[in-house]
Each structure stands twice: as C-alpha cells, then as structure tokens.
C-alpha cells in the first residue's frame, strides 16, 4: 500500500479540552482597557455583548478548559480533520523537507472557523440568548457562525464587508441556506454604518462596529467575534492537539510550524499547543506567522493600545496595529485584511517566540497554484500566504540538505475564491501597495495610552 | 463520546479491485453497434479513441478487476471517503429510519468523478497518450479529468456546455488551475460544433460530439467519458465496496439504496456491489434511481438503440433514451441533463431490479436545504434528487414505524452551484416542463434498429 498520505484519527480522538496558552506565557499580560474610561476592563464590562461562559474563558488562568459534550458532538460532523504528508509536493519541489498539512477545509463551511463558532453558539444558547450578530469579510466567518446558529437554533445576523458582499454572492447564499440574515456593510441599520456611508466598499473594522452596536442595543442579542480574542484562539486549539497526535503517528515532530494571520486564530489554533510544549520542554521548534504585505500588522505595525473596530466601540487591546481606521488595500485574502492581531500572538511576536513574514499576494497565489497541481486541494487565498512560507522553507532545506519537518495549517479551501484564481491566471492579479503614510496618520489618531511594557 | 456520526476506514481499506457487475447479470447483454455499419462493435472499433486497458475493462467478463497501485496511490489523496449516519437529519424528520450517506464531496474536485478520471488518465498515460479530450456539463466531470490529467502529466482539453460555461466561470477557473484548456461548446473548433452554432446554449450531446471528433482526429489524443460506459461504472464501485465495510462497522445492512442518475455512474458506484450481493445471496435490498422530472430518461424514455452524442459519432447502445438530439430543459442539476443512461443500469431497471423515480427540481432543493440545515454539508443539485427520495422513504418509515436502513450516495457538494440555491431562496426556481412531443420527435429520428429483447 506504500507510505501513508493521510494520518487519520477516530471520533474518540477529538480533544476533550481546549488549550489556554496564557498561563504559560512569561510575565503578566497588559489588560484590555474600557473604550470610554481607558481603565482596565472587568468581566462585567463584557456582559452586555458576551455570555458569561465565554467571558470566563476570555480571562481564564486555567491551562485547560473542558469542551462541553454538546460541542464535541457537533465537532463529529467534520472532526478529527486529516493531517496530510505532502509527498507529491515534496517531490515537485525537490526538497528533502517533510511537509505536513493539517486540512481544516473539510468542515461544512470550508474552514477552521466552525471550531469556535459552534462553541460560541453553544454558550450563548445555554444562557438564553436568542440571536447572534457578527461581521464577516470574505465570508468564512459569517458562514461558520450561520452554520453554528442553525445547529443550536439561534438567529444569526451578519454584516458583510461591502466589497465582498458584491464580489461573493455565493458566500451570502451559503449563509442564507443555513438561515442567516446578511446585510451589506456599511448599512443603514446602525449609526456606525450610517456614519461610514461614504466608504461604500466597507471594511472589517466598520462591520464589527455595526455588529457590536446591534448586539449592545438589544436584550436578547449578543455579539460574536471570529478571531483575535483569547476565547476564540483557545477554541481553535483542537487543531494543534489533533495535529500533535497525528504527527506522532508519523513518528515525527515539527521543526517549523507555519500559519497565516488575519486576526490570529487559525495560527493560534495550530501553534499554541506546540508553543506550550516548546516552553515547557525547552524544544527548539520555530513558529512562522504569514501575513499579507499589503496589510503588514506584525511586520510593520506599531505595538500600541488600539480598538478592535473602526468606531471605537470595542475595548482597547495591546497589540501590533496599523491603526483602527486604517483601511487595508482590497487583497483577495479578505480574511487577512485586519488592522490588528490577537494580543496573545502579538506578545509572542514581541518576545521573539514567533517570527512574522509579509507575503505579496502574487507570491501567495503562485504557491497556491503549484500546491493545487501537486496535492489536488485548492487552497483559500489566506492559507496560500502560509504555503508561500512553506515553499521558502522547503527551498532552504534543499540548499542545506536538511530533512526539516514543516507543519502548516491549510485552514480552508478556495471554492468561493475562484475569481481571485481567475484574475491570477489572466495575469491581472497585482501586488497592492501598503501605505506607510496612511498607517502613520491612523496611528496618530489613536488615543494617548502608554504602550504596555 | 456518544454514538458515532462517521464511520471511517484506513488507507489500507481502499479496495484492491473494482467490481464488474456484468457477469452476474442474467442473460446476454445486447451489444453496442458501430455507428456507421450498425453491426455489433468489436474492441478494435474503440481503439482510435480509447486505450486498450480501458477497452478490455469495457468488455470484460471478469467479476473483479485489479486496481493498479498507481491509481490506489492517488485515491489516497481523498479516499476512503466517510460514511455518515445522519442522526441530526433523522431527528429533524422524526423518522425511525436509519439514514446513512456516503460522502464523495471530499475529493479535491468535489464529487465522485475523480474515481474514474484518475483510472482513465492512468491507463491512457501508460499507453503513451499525450492528451485527453472530454465534455463537461455543470463542470464536475471536467474538473475531475483536469485534476487527473495534471496528476499523470497529461494535457486536458474540455468542451464545456455553453450555458454552464457562462453561468459557472468558477468551475472553469478550477479546471484552468489544474492546467486544462476549456472551450465553450458549441465551438468553432470542430465540425460538430460549427454545425450546432445556432444552439448557442449547447448540450452534453453536442459537447460529447466535439470531444470525440477532437480525439478521433489526432494521433496522440484520446477521448474520455465521465459516465454511461461499463468501465466508468466499474471504476466507481470503490464507493459501494467502502460503504459496505462501513455500514458493517455500524452493525447494519441497507434495506434501500438510493442514488441520482445522469449517466448512471455514481448510482452504479454505490449500488452495483450491493446488487451483486442481492443477486448472489438472495437479499431483499431495494434500489432506487432518482432522475430529474424534466429529463426523465428511465421513467418516460423508450428502450431503444441510440447514440451517446448528438452528432451520432459514438456507438449505438441499448438503453432508455429520450432521443440523442432531445435537448433537456436547463435544470440546475447539469450533471443529470442527459438523454440516455448507462446500458447496464437501463437493463436493471427493465428487469425490475432497480426502481426509478422522477423528481421535480423544487422538491430536490427543498430536500437539499433541509439536509444542509440538519447535517451542515451543502449538497450539489444532482444528489439533491436522491435526498428527495430519502426524505420520502424516511416519511414512509415514520408512517409504518419501521426502522428501515437507507443508504444514499451524497456524490458531491454544491459549492459551485450556489446560484441555484440563491434562485431557490428568492422563490425564482421553477419546475421545468418535460416535452413528451419533443421526445417523440427525437425518437422518430432514430435509425431503424430493432429494440434488443
């Protein structure tokens, strides 16, 4: 039968706990601040828009948090996901490196996002919430939450970034099939939307403002965020825990772990369980975060306190940021168009535990097409950025002749992103410019809060 | 951990042989006829467009045909596919029936089609062929062959039915990502295409003529067909063999086996291994083939000798047919818009071993949406027809209170068919009329060949 291509686990191998990396991190993290008072935020400040079950996870000091049976039961619809050894790609690249990819595109929504969407829907439903409001860029997160709300009998209202709403009607149709209501953002439904009417293409920051406003203004509606926050990152750690078991089945351990970063949750999901092992066991594993060169938060942003949204409704968080009203150029990786990043990940980059690399989108699509031609699967534009890093690592391994083991999170398929592939094939895909001047201007508009130490 | 939702197999469980049902069928099958002489066709007549490896399978009397190691190696990229117990759907339907679905949408092309595409590419490459030409309707088959050709370093030229080419640019982009060249059919590149220039929406029959003509006119180009023929149906039997193992893991055996039918290959793939068991062991298993009410080959067609294509370039086969120049209405299930069906399947329907049901497309989409809301996965329009039959069987089980075990082939996802879902949600999807008069006229134009006994 030859060498294995996939490493599969049984449903009984679905993790029983989420990994909370925070207690393992050195030092005391700088607290989020209340958007009005700029004072450290207490759990109660989040209660108007989040259920207590998730707030507890957000501030938890427990290294492990049990996954409710109801959530694990839903995970069984697509988990455990396969870990592939990319044998055909290795041959195509002529590299001695061993390349493994964890494939999260097998979920019904096509990405890793349902891992947290299902958990969030569960805790909200348990506390009597009737509806969730959220934003979505390219549509991966909105699809995931629409699915999760359907599975837990909640209503779902999605504010979709205008440019994606126009370009990706099929993502909208997918959300509607699962019963969600989808609005083009900026909309006329919220103050935040009406104030941004002139920015008709919209942005994630604006859509977040609209969703938060909707949740804050209604008794039985909560808000749901698809990345950035601690509870979101920890829900995703089912990915890394499974991958660890699977790569052990292959008799290996990764030398390099790679993921793309928009808000940080798919990267955290794969990497945090392995970062914990590095910290606890003194391993030498390297971690590389891939972001778009046109939205280079980790590689060129400032480490500052900033809002998560454009209107300044969310708490301020300590993170690398391009400024909350910086509008990233319209790269096809809509899920990576975010001005900030998860505070936990930013801290790891600041400490030098995670390397960050900025990838131009043509280089990402070049890797995506070559990956598809070798392995079959069509990657989403977001993980295409991570694949570019994998290609570079495999090339370096070829030059030095080392059999480095590379593990990457292929966090979603590109079935709803084929217009980007089409543009690439037609030679019409270009590398969009990052404007340092726009970032400087956006950073100058930030409130005066000292950068955390 | 609760009851299992998925029944998974290891890569070592990928079948080692394809099942050839023909030797088990009662009587001698009527032979295909040469399109020019109307004489029984010999293997050599097929040699200009098919490799000998596939021709041997087409006429084989062996009940099992070994799968080459190179093909099994590629199958490992997505096989074995999961068998699901649809526990959430059963609860939603309030049925005592046990519903199992075999999910073939996990292949990179999104359907069962790569099971045969990979085998066909392998046998062609082994015999020195450089390029394969084919047709595609909605794009599932063209995608699968594009992928397979890429994996075996063959060129691929696809004639895509005009209406789908216009409506589904993303399927085209997918084929191009895997390196295929895609033409809108009818094209200016072939005589068959030029002769049909006035039928600008195209049809599968016209596109087949174009591909066959391209292959016949070139030394190093062969033709590849995605359904209907014996060798195609038998390649798909990996589905049913895996499903048998998996449903045994669940401790059950199906009472009813359901699949949709366009040319017959996904139905055959699931059903033929189970039909063989019924024939050999005298089981009572029922088999139901679901076809579109707007293209009701099995339920309303005539059992006649007919061509597989519009221009009359292919052999004549004994089958139920609506007439080879009947142009089916543009239902969204493009993969089911075919005037004929696999001769082997037609024989089984004629003998009463397989029941056929015609499903209107709104009823199919109603089932698809309810399935998606319960199970998450978005079905393609084609298997939505089979799901409608599953719903009806589950309803009947509820009325009689029996725990019938239903097994269905969910042969592909609907990620490239969301415009159809969109139309359904908007209330714009209607049931297209089948014109009996058009069929009668098309049947009158058939050459005079006595119907096989």
**Above 0.90 for ipTM, yes or no?**
yes
pLDDT confidence of residue B213: 96
Q: Which of B11, B176, B372 has its CB closest to that of A1? A: B11
Return the structure tokens found at A11: 């449903």
Average pLDDT over chain A reads 95
CA distance linking residue B214 with residue B216, whole number of Å:
6
Q: What angle do CA A372, A377, A380 make, to 5 degrees?
A: 85
CA quadruple A83, A85, A90, A91: dihedral sign? negative
| Contact predicate A343/A364, CB 8 Å | no
Q: Is A229 at the interface with chain B, CB within 8 A?
A: no
Query: Are A177 and B377 in contact (CB < 8 Å)?
Result: no
Is pTM beyond 0.90? Reply is yes
Query: Are A418 and B174 in contact (CB < 8 Å)?
Result: yes
Average pLDDT over residues A259-285: 97
Q: Is B173 at the interface with chain A, CB within 8 A?
A: yes
| Å between A443 CA and nearest CA of chain B | 39
Instruction: Indicate left, alpha or beta for B76 from its phi (over 0: left) and psi (-120 to 50: alpha).
Output: alpha
Q: What is the percent of chain A where pLDDT is above 90?
A: 89
Q: Which residues of A, range 256-295, sit inside 8 Å of B by Cβ?
A: none
CA distance linking residue A113 with residue A92, whole number of Å:
30
Q: Which of B76, B109, B377 has its CB closest to that of A6? A: B76
Residues of A in contact with B422 (CB under 8 A): 169-170, 172-173, 176
Q: Is B376 at the interface with chain A, CB within 8 A?
A: yes
> The tokens 């590419």 sit on which residue?
B121
Of B211, B166, B446, nearest in space to B322 by CA: B446
Q: Which of B109, B178, B378 has its CB closest to that of A373? A: B178
HSE on the CB side for A433, CA within 13 Å?
4
CA distance linking residue A361 with residue A382, whole number of Å:
9
Query: Are A378 and B418 in contact (CB < 8 Å)?
Result: no
- pLDDT per residue over B315-325, tens digit each? 999 999 999 98
Q: Is B373 at the interface with chain A, CB within 8 A?
A: yes
Residue A359 pLDDT > 90: yes
Local confidence band at A1 (pLDDT 50, 70, 90 cut-offs): low
| Contact predicate A212/A314, CB 8 Å | yes
Dihedral angle at the C-alpha atoms of A227, A230, A235, A236, nearest 10 degrees?
60
Q: Is B367 at the interface with chain A, CB within 8 A?
A: no
Query: Are B12 and A2 in contact (CB < 8 Å)?
Result: no
Average pLDDT over residues B109-138: 97
| Å between B376 CA and nearest CA of chain A | 5
- pLDDT per residue over B255-304, tens digit each? 999 999 999 999 999 999 999 999 999 999 999 999 999 999 999 999 99
Residue B398 pLDDT > 70: yes
Q: Give CA B1 to chain center in angstroms.
A: 37
pLDDT confidence of residue A33: 96
Residue B447 pLDDT > 90: no
Of A238, A272, A215, A262, nearest in space to A118 by CA: A238
Residue B410 pLDDT > 70: yes
pLDDT confidence of residue B179: 98
Q: Exposed/middle/buried for B381, CB within 10 Å: 0-12, 13-18, 19+?
A: buried
Residue A378 pLDDT > 70: yes
Query: Are A376 and B73 in contact (CB < 8 Å)?
Result: no
């Amino acid at each position: 039968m030859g060498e294995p291509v996939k490493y599969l686990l049984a449903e009984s191998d679905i993790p029983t706990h989420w990994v909370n990396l925070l207690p393992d991190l050195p030092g005391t993290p700088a607290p989020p601040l209340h958007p009005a008072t700029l004072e450290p935020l207490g759990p109660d400040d989040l209660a108007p828009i989040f259920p207590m079950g998730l707030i507890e996870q957000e501030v938890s000091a427990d290294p492990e948090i049990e996954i409710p049976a109801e959530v694990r039961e839903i995970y069984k619809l697509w988990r455990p996901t396969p870990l592939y050894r990319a044998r055909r790609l290795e041959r195509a690249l002529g590299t001695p490196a061993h390349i493994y990819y964890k494939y999260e595109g097998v979920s019904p929504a096509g990405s890793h996002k349902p891992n947290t969407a299902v958990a969030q829907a569960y805790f909200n439903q348990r506390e009597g919430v009737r509806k969730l409001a959220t934003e979505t860029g390219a549509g991966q997160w909105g699809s995931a939450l629409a699915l999760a709300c359907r599975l837990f009998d909640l209503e779902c209202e999605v504010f979709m970034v205008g440019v994606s709403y126009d370009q990706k009607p099929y993502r909208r149709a997918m959300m509607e099939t699962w019963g969600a209501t989808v609005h083009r953002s900026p909309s006329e439904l919220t103050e935040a939307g009406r104030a941004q009417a002139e920015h008709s293409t919209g942005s994630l920051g604006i859509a977040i403002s609209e969703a938060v406003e909707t949740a804050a203004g209604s008794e039985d509606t909560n808000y749901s965020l698809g990345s950035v926050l601690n509870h979101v990152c920890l829900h995703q750690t089912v990915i890394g825990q499974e991958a660890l078991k699977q790569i052990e089945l292959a008799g290996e351990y990764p030398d390099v772990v790679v993921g793309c970063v928009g808000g940080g949750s798919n990267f955290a999901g794969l990497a945090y369980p392995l970062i914990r092992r590095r910290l606890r066991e003194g391993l030498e594993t390297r971690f590389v975060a891939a972001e778009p060169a046109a939205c280079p938060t980790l590689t060129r942003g400032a480490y500052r306190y900033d809002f998560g949204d454009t209107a300044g409704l969310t708490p301020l968080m300590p993170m690398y940021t391009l400024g909350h009203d910086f509008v990233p150029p319209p790269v096809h990786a809509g899920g990576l168009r975010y001005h900030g990043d998860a505070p936990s990940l930013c801290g790891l980059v600041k400490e030098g535990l995670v390397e960050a690399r900025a990838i131009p989108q043509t280089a990402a699509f070049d890797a995506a097409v070559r990956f598809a031609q070798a392995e079959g699967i069509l990657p989403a534009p977001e993980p295409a950025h991570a694949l570019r890093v994998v290609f570079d690592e495999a090339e370096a391994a070829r030059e030095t002749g080392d059999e480095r083991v590379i593990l990457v999170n292929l966090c979603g398929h590109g079935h709803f992103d084929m217009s980007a592939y089409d543009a690439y094939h037609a030679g019409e895909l270009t590398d969009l410019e990052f404007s340092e001047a726009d970032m400087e201007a956006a950073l100058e508009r930030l409130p005066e809060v000292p950068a955390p130490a």
